[in-house]
Amino acid sequence: MSGTRREVPNDPGRRERILDAALDVIAESGVHRTTHRRIATRAGVPLGSLTYYFEGIDDLIAQAFARLADTMSLLYRRTLREAGSAAEAEAAVVELICGPTYATDRELTLIFEMYAYANHHPAVAATTRAWLTRSRESLTLHFPPGVARALDALIEGWPMHRAFEAAPLDPALVAGVVHAVVAAGPGLPDGG
């Protein structure tokens, strides 16, 4: 038999399980209390296996946030891609803002942690910028770039208000604001 142990993993899903466990620990305890030991315990893997896949805790956290951004971006894109008309696209934006599917309480907590960590970690800052770019690209399936940028700010910001106010959003208010932004589209600049 040829090959080394590194070429033939005996637990092919371990790396992803570790990343998911890292996100669970971050959501429950915050980045500042996330440790190798907590992640290994949550993932059900030996502590030493974390250093097999990751260069250190910062690398592990950065890759976990990249996994979060990828997962959220796919959902964001799918929600917008399924819209078949302008009205459905506006409704999709309202769903991203108000609905429970896009940003659960856990995901909002992770987003808050990611944004804070991005201020001090260049790789996570790059992940966050890439996520914003992907979000806007998804919105440009239906809206011009200036409108996409404004809508993305609503999609990112309004759920934060919902979380901190601990109150549901008024879908009619959100729909009215989304429609007003879309209607103002020709007057919005396309640049950043």
State residue 102's pLDDT score. 78
Amino acid present at 160: M
State residue 191's pLDDT score. 55
State residue 6's pLDDT score. 52
Both structure tokens of 191: 């640049």
Both structure tokens of 44: 């059900």
- List per-residue pLDDT tens for the chain, 192 residues long: 444 445 545 778 899 999 999 999 999 999 999 999 999 999 999 999 899 999 999 999 999 999 999 999 999 999 999 999 999 999 999 999 998 777 888 999 999 999 999 999 999 999 999 999 999 999 999 999 999 999 999 999 998 888 888 888 899 999 999 999 999 987 666 655
Nearest to 133 by CA among 63, 65, 71, 192: 192
State residue 188's pLDDT score. 65
State residue 192's pLDDT score. 52
Q: Which CATH superfamily is domain 14-187 in?
A: Tetracycline Repressor, domain 2 (1.10.357.10)
Nearest to 79 by CA among 98, 66, 95, 64: 95
If you count them, how many residues does the chain have?
192
State residue 183's pLDDT score. 93
> Three-class SS string for 164-177?
HHCCCCCHHHHHHH
Model-level pTM? 0.87
Cβ atoms of residues 36 and 50 within 8 Å: yes
